[in-house]
Amino acid sequence: MKRHNITPRSGWQQKVEELGFNFHTLESPYWDESVYYEFSMTEVETLEKATNDLWELSLNAVQYVIDNNLYHYFHIPEWFIPHIEDSWNNDLPVIYGRFDFAFNNGKPKLLEFNADTPTLLFESSVVQWHWLQDFDDRRDQFNSIHEKLIAYWSYLKEYLHPGFLHFTTAKDSDEDLTTTEYMRDCAIQAGLETKFLYLDEIGWDTTYPQFLDLEDSIIRNIFKLYPYEWLVHEEFGQNILKDRSKTFWIEPSWKMILSSKAILPILWKLNYGHDNLLESYFEADKELAGSSFAKKPILSREGANIQLINNGKMLAETSGEYGEEGYIYQALCTLPDFDGQYPLIGSWIVGQESAGIGIRESNSLITDNASRFVPHLIL
């Protein structure tokens, strides 16, 4: 894995905007093509295998949580458990997820799994691929995300309820809207009939309890980019159990188990010593983590409220509003250092298969909402 500094394309802003990528610059550039990372085919194969292996381990871990009634570790309300178990036992449609890796010396180590509402999707699949075509179309990229999304939506078509596939997200986030509309575009290319509406536009029929769209049509299938951890604390979420039409929610609610960092100690317990996992413990066993560890909230986003401790001393930390549910303690594994730039590899699983990577780069050891997205290629 090598890092290269280059000159950005002339007029790159217009080029990415023509693709529909409008949040390329926030307070500073989010999309950064002044640098790219180079991988060998051996490294790509290593990342691909780790992603596929961890997906299988994750599915086994969900079954273990359900079989042993471990929901209290995840702070999942008891009233929502039947929906989770129903979505798992009935194998409801699932489309994607993103494993975040520290990739040191050719070894991927899992830092967390973004299983419910992962973003970085559009820039990982479409934007960086178009960059490669302009930069050097003789090279390849670890990136079959777009093709796999279309293929898997096509596969899922016969498993969905009859009718439209709705897509929804909350307002006021260009990133979430772009991700949702991109996913919708892939479904359209797969031959599905779709509708979009914002989350607060979803109606509720109190006479015959069911979800309705703006045209008062029943919502039978819906892709949401909105976390279950928020839904279960809202009246809207409670309607999911009252819904007599049994709407398919994508991702299914069992993904709530994998989207919590509470899954990390369970993965470690079930797969002690696995080459792609880091020692991880709940607070009751935190002394087992030793003097060098990452302290992470069970529920958090964008790298908030994380502490990195090295030999008992603070190495890095972030602030935020998370931590009420408690923390997990994970063996310290710092991101690789390229002259003060730290890349985090997001490795995508689409339709049960590894599909490619996207890279976030930061000036800090903790990847946060100020981190940049940078492209990559294969040597």
The domain locations on the chain are 2-259+338-378, 279-331
Q: Which amino acid is at 322?
A: Y
Average pLDDT, the chain: 96
Residues 6+ apart with CB under 8 A from 163: 193, 217, 218, 220, 221
DSSP string, 44-113: HHHHHHHHHHHHHHHHHHHHHHHHTT-GGGGT--GGGHHHHHHHHHTT----EEEEEEEEETTEEEEEEE
Span 220-268, pLDDT tens digits: 999 999 999 999 999 889 999 999 999 999 999 999 999 999 999 999 9
- The three-state secondary structure class of 130 is helix
The better pLDDT of the pair 320, 253 is held by 253
pLDDT digits (tens, 9 = 90+) for 126-182: 999 999 999 999 999 999 999 999 999 999 999 999 999 999 999 989 999 999 999
The predicted-structure confidence for 176-213, as pLDDT tens digits, reads as follows 999 999 999 999 999 999 999 999 999 999 999 999 99
- Alpha-carbon distance of 4 to 10, in angstroms, equals 18
Give 3-state DSSP helix, strand, coil % of the chain, rounded to 5.
35, 25, 40
Task: Please tell me the predicted confidence (pLDDT) of residue 370.
Answer: 82
CA distances from 73 to 199, 220, 271, 291, 295 (A): 28, 31, 18, 24, 16
The answer to whether 186 touches 125, Cβ cutoff 8 Å, is no
Place of tokens 């940078």: 374
